[in-house]
Structure 1
Amino acid sequence: MTIDRLRTAASHLLLTITALVCAFPIYWLFATSLRRPEDVTSLAPIPWPLSVENYADAAHKVDIAGLIANTFVVAVLSGSGQLLIALLASYAFAMYTFPLQRLLYLAFIGTWLVPFQVTMLPNYIVLTRLGLIDSLLGVVVPTLCSALGVLLLRQHMAAFPKELIAAARIDGRSSWSILWTVVVPNLRPALAALGILLFINAWNEYFWPAVVLRRSNSVLQLGLRSFMGTEGDQWGPLMAVASLACLPVLVLYLLLQRQIVNAFVRSGLK
């Protein structure tokens, strides 16, 4: 019993140390943003006296509310669009039989192995001809197809009880009705977990918005560049905006912590 308690204590200690190591950069980010401008490079572990001058300087230089709103719009549209298309595609691959089904599925998943930098130029040319350059819609459209989402959801669709599908068809329901009234309600944990992943990935995206958007203050990630220059980086305002970029995701996790954990545990997504 003593050995088991020691193992448990050692495990908890290891987890605590790991959590502190992972959380320290986030703490230092917020701590630096709350220092006075003259103390921004201080190595003191606790910022004192507290100051919001960095946030005021950042708000004076960029439109923080606009940055957050644009980033939220991009993340919501991109994440929800990917989730919807992945749901429809995985349903078709799992529930229907058609010629070259396996080959098409492998080809679709194979697109996941192609680096985004390879398709960047064709996407940019298409957006130019559509007149979507320098617009939030131009950031969203090329990201709507998620091979990873199809791969994950198809596994859940394939494991879905076929008896329920057959019973719904005997009851006279259409394929569209079966998807939304039978399949989707039973896949909520998987959809929640995947939706969270897609939202966070879209929220943190930097490379593609930097290519499409010519305005440096369009989304939060590009707004950070406003405080970086050849004459030196403005670390205080930079940390202030970076902390605001992290804040919505942290608040989302705190509010939906139980649902998020249950979604990942029940869905089996890693």
Structure 2
Amino acid sequence: MKRWTLTFALAAAFGLCVGPFYWLVMAATHEDKDIFTWPPKFLPGGHLWDNLTGLEESIGLTRVLLNSAVVSTLQTVGGLIVSVLAGYAFAKFDFRGKNILFVMLLATLVIPIQVRLIPLFEMMLNFDLLDSYPAVILPNLTVPFGIFLMRQALSGLPDELLDAARVDGAGELRIIWRVVVPVMRPVLAALTIFLFLWAWNDFVWPLIALRSAEMQTLPVAMATLNGLANTDFGQVLLASTISTLPVMILFLFFQRQFISGLLAGATKG
């Protein structure tokens, strides 16, 4: 009896998690008037291509996807590099004011993004970087959560392993690349997913920093689909479906290392 109850509970949980996404994908293939009919349509429709061409005409789907891909990829790679280097320094080096700097870094986690918008905008304006990729990428390269996660994980890395590499003549950067990165691969996989998810779904700062339609990222462009008088929900749902695919693919690629990476970062002291 307990086995059947557990099976039913797992099936119900699976349905609650997958059901809405399945409906989202199916609804994206229907025209606007068929999406909210009752009973709902759970089979593919014949308007996928119409919705796709409509998105290309409305927001320039290819262009905004390319913008989002460039921004998210560079921001993720840059965030990983900064997090590894800073986390390694906080975990393995002793220097004056280290604890104070680390506490100040963690304190930025509770500062709302709205507080930073005006100073960031002023900085990008003074540097003449507005409406460009660097305007979106550079302010987000330092991720306090990523530095904290890497610091916690690297604190458990034996110093003897690093000393052995130094004895062999390896510099710090080579130690990080040859020793730290392979050992910390599960943590890096988890951090990669988080960084890419945040970069891909970021809306507020790209909305402010990118002025022209040609530079818009996908979340900003999707907001323009909601018109005052008329909204094509087929296009909205198709854009929502497309926006979830890169994150899902990335998670499936790193899923074997995701949980172990989180546990490694959470348990090392």
TM-score w.r.t. the length of structure 1 is 0.90
User: 1:216·1:226 contact (CA, 8 Å) conserved in 2?
Assistant: no
Match for residue 78 of structure 1 among 66, 72, 75: 75
Residues in 2 aligned to 1:123 and 1:179: alpha-carbon distance in whole angstroms:
31
Amino acid in the other structure paired with 1:230: L
Amino acid in the other structure paired with 1:228: N
Matched, 1:39 2:34: yes
Deviation at 1:263, TM superposition (A): 3.2
Amino acid in the other structure paired with 1:51: H
Deviation at 1:48, TM superposition (A): 5.6
Match for residue 237 of structure 1 among 235, 238, 253: 235
Deviation at 1:38, TM superposition (A): 3.1
| 1:69-105 superposed Cα distances (whole Å, 9 cap, x missing partner) | 1101111111111111010001111111111211111
User: 1:83·1:195 contact (CA, 8 Å) conserved in 2?
Assistant: yes
Larger CA deviation: 156-165 vs 17-26: 17-26
Deviation at 1:49, TM superposition (A): 4.2
Residues in 2 aligned to 1:115 and 1:178: alpha-carbon distance in whole angstroms:
36
| 1:34-78 superposed Cα distances (whole Å, 9 cap, x missing partner) | 113331322323246432222222222221111111101111111
Matched, 1:29 2:24: yes
Aligned to 2:224, the other structure's residue is in SS state: helix
Change (3 A) 1:25 1:216: farther
> Superposition RMSD on alpha carbons, in Å?
1.9
Residues in 2 aligned to 1:226 and 1:114: alpha-carbon distance in whole angstroms:
28
TM-score w.r.t. the length of structure 2 is 0.90
Corresponding residue of 1:51: 47
Deviation at 1:120, TM superposition (A): 1.1
Change (3 A) 1:189 1:48: closer
User: 2:64·2:218 contact (CA, 8 Å) conserved in 1?
Assistant: yes
Identity %: 29
Change (3 A) 1:250 1:56: same
Amino acid in the other structure paired with 1:103: I
Aligned to 1:227, the other structure's residue is in SS state: coil
Amino acid in the other structure paired with 1:75: S
Deviation at 1:266, TM superposition (A): 4.7
User: 1:112·1:148 contact (CA, 8 Å) conserved in 2?
Assistant: yes
| 1:133-190 superposed Cα distances (whole Å, 9 cap, x missing partner) | 1222211111110000011110111100111112122222222222211111111111
Corresponding residue of 1:12: 7
Corresponding residue of 1:96: 93
Larger CA deviation: 41-50 vs 110-119: 41-50
Instruction: Structure 2: state its 5+ residue gaps.
Output: none
Corresponding residue of 2:113: 116
Deviation at 1:28, TM superposition (A): 2.0
Deviation at 1:25, TM superposition (A): 2.3
Instruction: Structure 1: state its 5+ residue gaps.
Output: 1-5
User: 1:189·1:266 contact (CA, 8 Å) conserved in 2?
Assistant: yes
Amino acid in the other structure paired with 1:260: Q
Residues in 2 aligned to 1:183 and 1:30: alpha-carbon distance in whole angstroms:
41
Would you say how many aligned residue pairs link Structure 1 and Structure 2? 262
User: 2:188·2:261 contact (CA, 8 Å) conserved in 1?
Assistant: no
User: 2:26·2:44 contact (CA, 8 Å) conserved in 1?
Assistant: no
Corresponding residue of 2:192: 195
